[in-house]
Amino acid sequence: MSPRRLLRGTALGLAAVFALMQAKQVEHTNPPVRSDVDAPAEVKTILRRACYDCHSHETRWPWYSYVAPASWLVASDVEHARSDMNFSEWPRFDPEEEEDTFEDIRTQVSKGKMPLPSYLLLHPGARLSEADKGVLLRWAGAGR
Is 3 a domain residue?
no
Total domains, the chain: 1
Is 90 a domain residue?
yes
pLDDT per residue as tens digits for the range 121-130: 989 999 999 9
Is 107 a domain residue?
yes
Is 51 a domain residue?
yes
Out of 10-14, 63-67, 89-93, give the one with best mean pLDDT: 63-67
Is 21 a domain residue?
no
The pLDDT of residue 21: 60
pLDDT per residue as tens digits for the range 62-90: 888 888 888 888 898 999 999 988 999 88
Q: Provide the domain limits for residue 36.
A: 26-142
Sequence-separated (6 or more) residues with CB below 8 Å from residue 107? 113
Is 79 a domain residue?
yes
Is 57 a domain residue?
yes
pLDDT per residue as tens digits for the range 17-51: 666 667 667 777 888 888 888 899 999 999 999 99
Is 97 a domain residue?
yes
